[in-house]
Each structure stands twice: as C-alpha cells, then as structure tokens.
Amino acid sequence: MTAGFGAALPVWAWAACGFLLGAVIGSFLATLVIRWPQGRTVISGRSACDGCGRVLGIVDLLPLLGFLLRRGRCATCGVAINRRHPGIELACAGIGLVSFAVAPGVAGIVGAAFGWSLVALGTLDAEHFWLPNPLVAALALVGLAGGVAGVGPDLGARAIGGLAGFGVLAAIALGYRLLRGRIGMGGGDPKLLGAIGLTLGWQALPLLLLGAASTGLVAVALRRLNGGEVRRDQEVPFGALMALVSWPLWLIASVG
C-alpha cells in the first residue's frame, strides 16, 4: 500500500509538494519559536508586525517569498522582520523537498514531520535551553505513527529505542547530580532522545550520541579559536545537537 501511494506521483511532484508544504509549516513553526517563549499564543488572533502591530496581508504571509518581496522589512514601519522566519521556513522547505524526493509516500511524510519537529525543538533548545513537553510528545507520536504505518524500523526496535534513549540519558543525568551535587543535564534531553529513538530505532542511538557529542566539541573548539570564552561549567544545548544530527541519520537510512 505504501509503495502504491508513493508511485501515484512522479518524484519531482513529490519534491515540489514537500518544498511547498515545508515552507508553510516552517512559517508556522517560526512564529511558534518566536512567540512561545514570550508567553504569546500562535493559535488565536491574526498575524501582525511585531514593530507597529499592523495586521499582515497576503503578501506578508507568503513563506520565503513574502520576506523577499518586502526586502526583509515591514512595509509600514520599516522594522526588520525576524530572521528566524526565512531561516526556519527555508530549513523546513529543504527538509520537505529532500524527504519527499528520497522516500515518496508515507515514509517521506514521516521523515519530513520528524525533521520539522526537530527544527522547532533544536531552535528552542539552542536559544532558550528549553525542550517543551508538547513538542517532544508530538515527535514521539511521529515515531509511533511511522511504526504503525510499517515504514523504517519495526515497532519493537522503536520501543527499545524509546526506552533506551530515555534511560541512558536519565541515568547519566542522575549520576552526575549524585556525584557533583548539581544538575548537569536538563530533564528534556532524556525525553528528546527517547522520542528520537521511537523514530530511528535503538540501532541508531550510539551513532546519534557520538555525532551530537562530536559536533558539540567542534563547536566549543571553534568558539575558543575565535576568542570566545569557554568554561568548564558552560551550558551546552545538547538537545539541539541531537536534533541537528538526527534527521541526517534518518536520511542516510532512507537512502541506504
């Protein structure tokens, strides 16, 4: 059934649909990432300029294109549009395009939803050290949906991945707290790894952790080389690092 669904459209059409859908979802996620930490809703009310409060028109609301047509500024007050909007829209559009192209059908939809969720979670963790439970739960549901649909790892591998992912980081966090007498890892990181394990399966977890840790070390080294301050107790958004590595691992598994 999955193959037939994917074969209903040519690959280029799937890719185009993924790009457009990703841009639209990216527009919503960008608004979510900006407003949620401020305690503002994204569900009710019409979108408006953060500078002058003008209700946005059709041109302003066009993902990516609206930013280009307005030259990155509000047409009324000239305030610069938050750069997260085009950045997140472009990231989600790219994820949608590639996911739908390499795995047309249900598998591509699941992979794109996985990537889109990680963009929002990774951005929030990188900027606010915050991994909201509702978004982590949504990511977990994406993984379970893929297992039920029969794409990617089977439900058993996903279940083990979810339990092992949460358990490993929870144990590390508890051990650090007992040894050092202070919190060294946020409670959201184990939940996130558990949700990722529900999509990628337990087999991907060692490579995921290695990739996230290596990326973090490279980032710290680059910061040091550029003259930035590096402290032993400096916070690192490990959730964002895991999010950065996770979707490429899904992509590699899908292509292979």
Rounded distance between C-alpha atoms, residue 150 and residue 222, angstroms: 42
2 has a pLDDT exceeding 50: no
Residue 9 pLDDT more than 70? yes
Share of the chain above pLDDT 90, in %: 62
Query: Within this chain, do residues 121 and 178 fall inside the same structural domain, yes or no?
Result: yes
Of 33, 67, 102, which residue is a domain's last?
102
pLDDT per position as a tens digit, 175-204? 988 888 777 788 899 999 999 999 999 999
DSSP state string for 27-76: HHHHHHHHHGGGT--SSSS--B-TTT-PBP-HHHHSTTHHHHHTTTB-TT
Among the listed residues 162, 137, 149, 24, the one whose alpha carbon sits nearest the alpha carbon of residue 89 = 24
pLDDT tier for residue 4 given thresholds of 50, 70 and 90 = low
Confidence check: pLDDT of 125 > 90: yes
With 70 as the cut, is the pLDDT of residue 144 above it?
A: yes
Compute the distance between CA of residue 29 and CA of residue 242 in angstroms, rounded to an integer.
19
**Count of structural domains within the chain:** 2
Q: Which residue has the higher pLDDT, 230 or 93?
A: 93
What are the backbone dihedrals phi and psi of residue 73, each rounded to the nearest 5 degrees, phi first? -140, 155
Question: In this predicted structure, what is the pLDDT of residue 3?
Answer: 47
Answer yes or no: is 181 within a domain. yes
Q: State residue 70 phi and psi, 5-degree precision.
A: -90, 0
Give the model confidence (pLDDT) of 38-49 as tens digits.
888 777 667 777
Q: In the predicted model, is pLDDT for residue 6 greater than 90? A: no
Are both 21 and 52 inside the same structural domain?
yes
Residue 84's pLDDT band, with cuts at 50, 70 and 90, is: very high
Band of the pLDDT at 233, cuts 50, 70, 90? low
Displacement of CA 134 from its chain's centroid (Å) = 13
Asked if the structure places residue 176 within a domain, the reply is: yes
Q: Which of 219, 220, 207, 217 is nearest to 250 (CA)?
A: 207
Q: Could you give the CA distance from residue 62 to residue 97 in angstroms, rounded to a whole number?
A: 18
The DSSP code for 38 is G
Domain carrying residue 204: 103-256
Do 48 and 126 reside in the same domain of the chain? Answer: no
Separation CA 242–CA 155 (nearest Å): 22
Which of 102, 135, 152 marks a domain boundary?
102
Domain-embedded: residue 48: yes
